[in-house]
Amino acid sequence: MQVFPVRGFARRALLLAPLVALVCLPVCGQDRERADEIVANLAGGRVIVHVANDEIIFAAIDQPIEANSIPPRVMNIDGGHIGVLLGASEWRNTADPQPVRLDRNFPHVTAGNSKYEYNPDEIAPDLETMGVAFLEQLRPLVSQLQHKIEFKPDEALLEVVVIGYARDYGPEVWTIEYRVEQEQIATRGDFWQTRLLRPRFTQLYPPEKKEPKILVEVRYPPSLEGPKLQQLIEGNYPDIDELAKGNPKFQKVLNEIEGGRANKAAPQDASDLMRAILPIIAGKSRFILGTITERGFDWVVPPSEPVEKVKQDKNAPPEAPSLRRKPNPN
Position 299 scores a pLDDT of 96
* 231 lies in some domain: no
pLDDT of residue 184: 85
Antiparallel, parallel or unpaired: β 158-166 and 170-178: antiparallel
Among candidate residues 191, 106, 139, the one with its CA nearest the CA of residue 16: 139
Instruction: Write the pLDDT tens digit of every residue in 119-143.
Output: 444 677 888 899 999 999 999 999 8
Residues of the chain whose pLDDT is less than 70?
1-36, 108-122, 188-189, 306-330
CB distance 228 to 215 below 8 Å: yes
Residue 62 lies in a domain: yes
Domain of 55? 14-225+283-300
What pLDDT was estimated at residue 109?
55
Is residue 311 one of the residues assigned to a domain? no
What is residue 97's predicted lDDT score, i.e. its pLDDT?
82
* Domains of the chain: total: 1
Rounded Cα distance, 243 and 232, in Å:
13
CA distances to 198, 199, 200 from 13, in Å: 11, 9, 6
- Quote the pLDDT of residue 18: 37
Q: How far apart, in whole angstroms, are the C-alpha atoms of residue 128 and residue 199? A: 9
Look at residue 294 and tell me if it is in a domain.
yes
Give domain status of residue 272, yes or no: no
pLDDT at residue 266, as a whole number: 98
For residue 88, what is the domain's CATH number?
A: 3.60.20
Structural domain includes residue 36: yes
Whole-number pLDDT of residue 315: 53
Instruction: Tell me whether residue 34 is in a domain.
Output: yes
Residue 309 covered by a domain: no
Question: Nearest 5°: phi and psi at 283?
Answer: 65, -125
- What was the pLDDT predicted at 303? 94
- Model's pTM, two decimal places? 0.83
Write down the pLDDT at residue 124. Answer: 79
